[in-house]
């Protein structure tokens, strides 16, 4: 109680001292944003190394190191209408978390904006894709993620591509970087409903030729990066690392080629406790590349 008899506290003075971490270039309010970033700190079904729940803030921290002016694209990201909502509240239930992601992304899509989701593990992608029955999908992943269920859970992170196929239908999904597949997955009757491009094929033929091969007239593409699709040399901080992967610049080339048609984007499966810092840095840069490339093409 102040001396003038009115209740007075220190809310506004205190707010000058505190903040929650946001992507550095997220200078926009939601209402005026084109790109809406949010984190999903969930790793409840991860089978090998847990810790991807720590990735959203680790990516934000790494992003602080990047110049806001993206030299390669000539784009100033502080004027690119980016908003960062913070992190979704999560429980230990994959089903509840995926439902929350579905609800959040449904609102962002219906407001005509582009969601950029920071995982968390790969299962969170299913929530976004549930809103996109008429879209195509590009997945970067070492794993086919094609199990019908894993450890009794159809929303396990080892089942993401299979769930996406059920939602989007056949010939709509291309998964690039494949090199870890179980015999049962390979022998599935549904295997050819998804285009799997092995990492070895990208290495042999070059990413430009692969882009020509997979490009279609699809004009709405959801782009999901499981960081383990990229070689552990570039991205050591992965939950389930797998040798002989894609180059970081292969993924950048894919983003550049498709950016204008990408309506939603995520980057998942980064495990900061196994990182030397490079993985979160690469994730931050890929997000910046996507936004800068999308901005550059929508200006011309």
Residues that bind Mn ion (CB under 5 A): 122, 141-143, 145, 226, 228
Q: Are 73 and 296 in contact (CB under 8 A)?
A: yes
CB neighbours of residue 185 within 10 Å: 20
Nearest-approach distance from CB 243 to Mn ion, in angstroms: 13
Q: Are 116 and 266 in contact (CB under 8 A)?
A: yes
Nearest-approach distance from CB 141 to Mn ion, in angstroms: 4
Residue closer to Mn ion, measured from CB, 143 or 285:
143
Q: Are 59 and 24 in contact (CB under 8 A)?
A: no
In the three-class reduction of DSSP (H, G, I as helix; E, B as strand; rest coil), residue 103 is classed as: helix
Nearest-approach distance from CB 228 to Mn ion, in angstroms: 4
Q: What are phi and psi of 49, to 5 degrees?
A: -105, 115
Residue closer to Mn ion, measured from CB, 116 or 225:
225
Q: Are 46 and 94 in contact (CB under 8 A)?
A: no
Q: Rounded to an integer, what distance in angstroms lies between the CA atom of residue 80 and that of residue 234?
A: 28
Nearest-approach distance from CB 250 to Mn ion, in angstroms: 16
**Maximum CA pair distance of the chain?**
78
Residue closer to Mn ion, measured from CB, 27 or 278:
278
Q: Rounded to an integer, what distance in angstroms lies between the CA atom of residue 179 and that of residue 142?
A: 5
Residue closer to Mn ion, measured from CB, 124 or 132:
124
Residue closer to Mn ion, measured from CB, 45 or 294:
45
- Structure token digits, residue 4: 């003038």
Nearest-approach distance from CB 183 to Mn ion, in angstroms: 18
């Amino acid at each position: 109680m102040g001396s003038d008899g009115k209740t007075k506290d220190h809310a506004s003075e205190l707010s000058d001292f505190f903040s929650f971490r946001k992507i550095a270039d997220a200078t926009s309010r939601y209402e005026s944003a084109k790109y809406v970033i949010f984190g999903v700190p969930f790793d409840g079904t991860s089978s090998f190394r847990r810790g991807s729940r720590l990735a959203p803030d680790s990516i934000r921290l790494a992003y602080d190191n990047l110049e806001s002016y993206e030299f390669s694209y000539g784009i100033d990201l502080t004027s690119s209408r980016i908003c960062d909502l913070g992190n979704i509240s999560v429980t230990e239930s994959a089903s509840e978390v995926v439902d929350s992601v579905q609800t959040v992304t449904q609102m962002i899509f219906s407001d005509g904006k582009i969601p950029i989701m920071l995982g968390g593990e790969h299962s969170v992608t299913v929530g976004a894709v549930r809103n996109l029955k008429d879209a195509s999908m590009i997945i970067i992943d070492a794993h086919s993620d094609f199990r019908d269920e894993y450890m009794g859970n159809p929303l396990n992170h080892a089942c993401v591509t299979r769930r996406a196929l059920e939602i989007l239908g056949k010939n709509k999904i291309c998964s690039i970087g494949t090199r870890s597949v179980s015999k049962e997955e390979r022998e599935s009757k549904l295997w050819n409903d998804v285009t799997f491009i092995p990492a070895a094929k990208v290495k042999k033929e070059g990413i430009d030729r692969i882009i020509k091969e997979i490009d279609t007239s699809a004009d709405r593409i959801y782009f999901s990066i499981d960081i383990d699709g990229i070689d552990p040399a570039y991205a050591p901080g992965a939950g389930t690392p797998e040798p002989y992967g894609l180059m970081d610049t292969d993924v950048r080339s894919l983003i550049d080629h498709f950016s204008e048609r990408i309506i939603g984007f995520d980057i998942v499966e980064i495990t900061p406790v196994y990182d030397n810092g490079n993985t979160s840095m690469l994730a931050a840069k890929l997000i910046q590349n996507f936004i800068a490339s999308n901005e550059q093409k929508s200006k011309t």
